[in-house]
Each structure stands twice: as structure tokens, then as C-alpha cells.
Structure 1
Amino acid sequence: MTPTTIFDRSARRHRRDRAQPDYAAHDFLRAAMLDGLAERLDAVTRPFRDVLDLGCFDGGFPVPPGAHVARLDPGFAFARAAAGVQADEDRLPFADRSFDLVVSAGVLDQIDDLPGVLTLIRRVLRPDGLFLGAFVGGGSLPRLRAALRIAEAERPVARLHPQVDVRSAGDLLMRAGFTLPVADIETLEVRYRDFGRLLGDLRGMAASNLLAERRPIGRTALASAAAAFADMADEDGRTSEQFSLIFLTGWAPDPSQPVPAKRGSATASLADALKAKPSAE
């Protein structure tokens, strides 16, 4: 089945190239993701030899000591600056079982076929290889969404792409064939003094409207959205915006991994376990 086209591939490449020169001024979301991935990686004691940084941006992911890293980005400018290759995440130019660690921060929410991409990631991992991913998920940008609804109440237009929630993300890991899947969420709050700064950050991190079917916003609607955003400000004149960061952890299957006990193998019943114990005399 061909996935529904949600994103404009050409616009995505162009906007990543446009964002690359000044990306360091707007990389706070990916920096938070990389910190979260580093914490999860620190909990793993095994070494890694071959690493894939999928959606590498500026190549900021810290490579484990002694490991070789391949970097890939859908934008030419980011790929060139990070000494990587340019390719889309659903068209990986790597053989199966090429890596024992794949990391991805900040790109998986901009892909038409996320289940297919997760399956490709699992395929390029060696048995017992580790996948660590992070992206902006459901519940993000509530003030921006509200401001746009107010500004375009009479003729609403889709301007932000659909977002994956944490429960669906965990289901997708299992569907892609990962073992020991974990999906969790962290919330980051950013305070903006005006609407323009928020839009500037989204452009600067290559996260502006990438929908295949998009329409420009008129000046009147943009001004109304800015006013609505300002009306949500706290007493200090700043409006708090929220980003929900979803983190994924999954392992490529391997016989050495622990498996859940078979149904019916327990030696005690749940009913017995829940019975109240007699009080001591």
C-alpha cells in the first residue's frame, strides 16, 4: 500500500538548506533531544562499533568512543557540513545489518511513512542492535494552534502537520519488529516575547509548514494570529509555548534477549496474590 502523501519532499530539502547556515541559533529542541538520547545511551554498558546518525542536522550527536559514524540528512547543506550523505529516511542507502546503533533526533515527525521508516531502521541494525529516537510529538505548540484557529476561524486552513502521540509511538515500535520497546515523553516549555520569535525559531530549525497541500497565510490573518498569541501572555508579557518530546528505544531481535513468560506459566494466580494477608496478632 502506498502511504498517503503528507509532506512536500522538495520543500523539506529546500528549508533544511535554508536553515543550515544559522541553525546553531535555533537548535534548542534538538539539543534537548540529544541530551535525552545521551542519558538513555549512558545506561547501556555494551560497546558500539558502527553508528548511524539519521537526520544528522549539524552532526551534533556525540559518537561513542571508538565507534565509526555514518551521518545522513535529507538536506544537502546539512549532509555536506556533517561529512555525511544526502538521502531521505525512507530510502536508506545502507545494507541490512550494517549498524549496531541507530540514533535519530528531530526528523521522524516529518515523514509520510513512519511505520515503514522504523522497519527500515530495524533492518539496518544488526541482531541485538539498539535504536534511539526522538521527535516532536502530540500536544506540541498548543498556543500557536489556538492563535491560528482564532485568526482563521471563518476559513480554517491546516498549517501544522499531524503529530504522533506517545502511545501510538510505542505501538509503531512493536509493529516495526523491535523488541523491548519503550516510548516516553518529556515536556519542554519555551517563553516567547512575541509571535515573530516563535515563527523565527520554527523556520530556523526547518520545522515550518511542510505539508504537501499548503496555502500561504495572508497579512490580515497573520496579524490576527500575532494578536491572539499576545493575548495569551503572562503578566511579564511573554507567552509560554509547549513542545512534547517523544523518545523511542527499541532493540533489533536476537535470541539472547529476554522474552516475556508464556501465558499460563505463572505458578500463582492473580486472585491469590490480591487476597489480603491476615493481620498479625
Structure 2
Amino acid sequence: MAVLVGCRSFWQSFRVQAAHRQSACRLAAAFFSRRYVLSNRVVLCPRLNGHGAVTRYYSSDSKDDLRVRYLDGEDSGIVVVGINRPKAKNAISKNLVKMMFEAVEDIKKNKKVRSVILCSLVPGIFCAGSLPVPTIAAIDGAALGGGLEMALACDIRISSNTAKMGLVETKLAIIPGAGGTQRLPRVIGVSLAKELIFAARVVDGTQAQQMGLVSHSVEQNDSGDAAYLRALELAREINPQGPIAIRMAKLAINQGIEVDLSTGLAIEEACYSQVIPTKDRLEGLAAFKEKRQPHFKGE
């Protein structure tokens, strides 16, 4: 469930484009178009293995447009963010942008959050962002245009084999305008990114994994939530690790990848120094010595 990386830059870019409202709405629509319901009836987090959760709604004209689910029990620390605009096919609206800002700020302030999963509550559509915790995009449906751009802003992408992905803006005589021209080349390489963007090509989950666009491609199930379930498994792997260490590791990677190696190593050293005085580090050493599982508190 790790999900939002670079969210702030996405929204800043979105604000710039807001003058062109129709284009912005199309971009937003793609943002959270992941398949995440079992039928025409919306089901939030259909499978939680019996664990409860707290759902938060954010003030808006349509309060159901965005649902943020804080899992509890063994999954405490995992947050599932779902977009629910079925009639608009998850099109990004001014209201949805406002709700996303509120949700991101809420999550950022919550030190108990370990990872975030970004998904859609609308069947057959995915749309996916900057948080300090790991973010995972679960793509079970179509992630086209802005939808793929949002997924590219996440740390990790997981898709079903039947999912469809592509930056198709050139078909409309425009270009990706929410980070697609910058993030896609960084993920799959310049030449291949140019090919996909120039040709407005759409690929499925299997092809996306082969080119490195997604980390995992899983066979879709009858419920249409195979990518979400795989994302949940990954979030559960991340959850027990030291939360401050995870945040610092993400910061070091994200900042270091943009600079030369020497500067990157300096960034790593600075991030490493932040974990040394933490209680979690001492707990990790004690747990290792005592041959037990550590209990990290993010302190």
C-alpha cells in the first residue's frame, strides 16, 4: 500500500493547467482509474482479512468522490486512498483536487502511517502522487494519460495482466503535462519513453512489466482486484520495518537519483545521520541481540 511520491509536483503542475479546465479534468480522471469494486455497487477495500478500518470523508460538494481508509489490526499503518467518481469515469475535478490536497496533508501529518495504496473504486479505470512514506499504485484497469502520470508519481507500480497503460495525449494533439515526459523516461529509458509517447501506444500489464513500467504484473482474478491484493501483500512486507528508516531511505533515493554519485552519497550520509539518534535504531539492535521481532514506534 505504499503509494504517493511526487504528489506535490503533480498538483502544482495540475494547478498550472487548471486554466485549461477540460484538459485538467481529463488528466484528473486518469489519476485514480484503478478497478476496485466487485460489481456496480461500490465496495471499499473488499478484502481486509476480517480487519476493521476507519474511513474518512473529506468536505466537498460530493463527499463520496474520495475515500481514505485507515486500516487497523495487523494492517494498522496502511492507508488506502480510493477515487470514486463512476459517472465521470474518475475524471479529475476541482472538487477532487481539493479533496486530494486535504487527504495528502492529513496523511503527511499522521506519523503512524507506514505506507499508502492508491487505487480506484470504479471498475475498469485506474488513476493515480508527495508523501514521505512509500506509495504503491495498484493498477487493475485502464491508466491512460493523467492516470498513468499519477501512477508514475508513485514509488512502486503493480498491475494486473489485463490493465491498459499509456500516455496517449499526442492523439489529441497535446503532450503529457503532469510529469509524464519527465517521469516515464526516468522509469523505462529515454528511447522507449519517446516511442510510447510519440506513438500514443497503449500496453497491457505483461508488456508494462517487461519494459520496467511496473514492478509486478499479476493475473487478473474474477473480482478484478488482483493488483490491489498484490499491493496489499507488499505493503504488509513494508509495514514491520523501521518507519523513520523507510522515510529516510525514500528521501535518499529520490534526491540522490537526480544528482551525480558524489552528491548522492553525501545525501545518503545526511539521511543516515537522521536515523542514528532514534529509539527505533536502539530497538532494532536490541531485537537482533535478543533474537526477537523488533517493535518500532517511529521514534
Q: Same fold (TM over 0.5)?
A: no
Structure number with larger C-alpha Rg: 1
Relative to total residues, which structure has the larger strand share, 1 or 2?
Answer: 1
Q: Which has the higher contact order (CA 8 A, sep 6+)?
A: 1
TM-score of the superposed pair, with normalisation by structure 1:
0.33
Relative to total residues, which structure has the larger helix share, 1 or 2?
Answer: 2
TM-score of the superposed pair, with normalisation by structure 2:
0.31
